[in-house]
Structure 1
Amino acid sequence: MQLVAETRDSARITAVALKAYARIVEAWALSLKEAAALADMSESTWKRARKPDFSGDLTKDQLLRLSAVVGIYKSLELYFSDPLARTWITRPNTGPLFGGARPLDSAIEGGLPQILAIRTYLDALRGGA
């Protein structure tokens, strides 16, 4: 019985994470390739995953990535006004984490550790640290 409940919970978490991520991808106007790479998925998997009836599983890494991206999105929405909140991730940035690259490219290249570093960076900006 417990395994069935855990499976349902896992499926719900996956569905909610993918729905939120799809909305963020749309808000940020990311390409299919960028969205898939940021989530550490193939483009074909991302095409399937963004549909409401997706029944696949995500790895722990993928779920952590999606969670961190939601945190990044939230921080940007709180810290900046539009249109900067929606375009910050795709604009070249001279900040210490990016060296002139787009935060998106930095996140894709650096994987989960860089995505988490970006989230921490934005949380510190928001908190005044």
Structure 2
Amino acid sequence: MERASYLLGIYRALQILFADEAQSDQWLHAPNDNPLFGGAAPIEKMLDGFVVDLAVVREHLDSQLS
């Protein structure tokens, strides 16, 4: 349930931040120089296998909403 909640929150934030699905997909798959991602794409962080990795991505996106 926790993973599903983070994934839904990430999806929601991407829908708000980006005008179309192609932009949100690009953000997820493009290398990111933010220290949270260490040059990797956010999707790579999400796929590391730990719930905390999903939480990091969601918190980052939520911070962009404010």
Q: Does 1:117 align with 2:56?
A: yes
Unaligned runs of 5+ in 2: none
Identity of aligned pairs, percent?
A: 34
* Pairing 1:77–2:15 present: yes
Query: Greater CA radius of gyration, 1 or 2?
Result: 1
Distance (Å, rounded) in 1 between the aligned partners of 2:45 and 2:27: 13
Pairwise CA RMSD of aligned residues? 1.3
**Bigger shift: 73-82 or 87-96?**
87-96
Residue 50 of structure 1: aligned partner: none
Report the Cα offset of residue 117 of structure 1: 1.2
Q: Normalising by structure 1, report the TM-score.
A: 0.47
User: How many residue pairs are counted as aligned between the two chains?
Assistant: 65
Look up the equivalent residue of 1:84 and give its one-letter code: Q
Q: How far off is 1:86 after superposition?
A: 2.7
- Which structure would you say has the larger RCO, counting Cα contacts within 8 Å and 6 or more residues apart? 2
